[in-house]
Amino acid sequence: MTLIPELPELEIIAERLTEALAGEMIDGVVVHNHLVIHGGTADQFAETAKGKSFLAFRADGKFLIMNLSDSLEILVNPMLTGRFRISAKQRSALKSDIFSIQTGRGTLWYADKKSMSRVYIIMQGDENRAAGFEGRGPSALDPALTLEVFRTRVPRFQGQIKNVLQNQRFVKGIGNAYADEVLLYAGILPFRKRSSLNDGEIVKLYDAMRSVLGRYREMLSHKGLEDLGPEKRDFLMIHNKGGGICPLCGGRISEVTANRFKTSYCQTCQK
């Protein structure tokens, strides 16, 4: 099963990291896996961050950005399996660990068992140096993404509607799992061509996107950092529950897998 951190998780992860580390000075940085450090060497990454202070953490689509003093940022694209943890106790690095940042309140560990992440240390305003950052659409939860704005964006994209939802140039922050959830609530089959949707269905899609992501963000807001991650999504209605019971109609959930990604849907609720 392929699990990807998506916008609701990353926003709450950013909140938890800000609560724990804002104002803390970085006493030391150790890079355990240099393969995911981009835009400079591992030594440059460690030397540049050391002595700076954490100001805040924020999610930007599927990126997590650490704002540092001196107008610096550590920008992380967690990709498939990137995970953040804080440890108050000293421990040895694990095989999956990418870097560790020591502060007076504990050590921030970033791990990625598949080493697919991309990590940069940059000046504020240079975010477009990160692969995949430039040219993205508005956040799926951005208040400025009104129904009218959503309507104007939809015709610019072609293909199956699930792929459109996951296209970060359309809206940023939605991945495989939450696309399934949104489409169930909207009553739209994931394999439908975007061009087949009428205006009423576009309105349902927008309403479902805001409702589902907002509701899940609220659920996640009560969890600690250790309980945040795609592995902990026991609240999902349909994704990865093939053969189970649809919570909306009581029918059987269907599921197909392509390129290691699962699509879960209800043939009764979704048309």
SS (H, E, C) 79-136: CCCEEEEEECCCCCCCCCEEEEEEECCEEEEEEECCCCCEEEEEECCCHHHCCCCCCC
Domain boundaries, the chain: 7-129, 147-265
Q: How far is CA 144 from CA 5, 106, 133, 212, in A?
A: 23, 37, 19, 17
pLDDT at 88 over 90: yes
Q: Is there a contact between 3 and 62 (Cβ–Cβ < 8 Å)?
A: no
Residue 5: the pLDDT is 78
Element at 63 (helix H, strand E)? strand 63-68
Q: What fold is seen in the domain 147-265?
A: Helicase, Ruva Protein; domain 3 (1.10.8)
What are the C-alpha distances in Å from 32 to residues 45, 169, 237? 12, 33, 38
The answer to whether domain 7-129 has CATH 3.40.50.11890 is no
Stretch 221-244: mean pLDDT: 88
Question: pTM for the complete prediction?
Answer: 0.93
* Tens-digit pLDDT profile for residues 163-199: 999 999 999 999 999 999 999 999 999 999 999 999 9
- Sign of torsion over alpha carbons 178, 268, 163, 264: positive
Domain 7-129 shares a fold with domain 147-265: no
Distances (CA, A) of 152 to 107, 155, 156, 199, 203: 45, 7, 8, 11, 12
Mean of per-residue pLDDT scores for the chain: 95
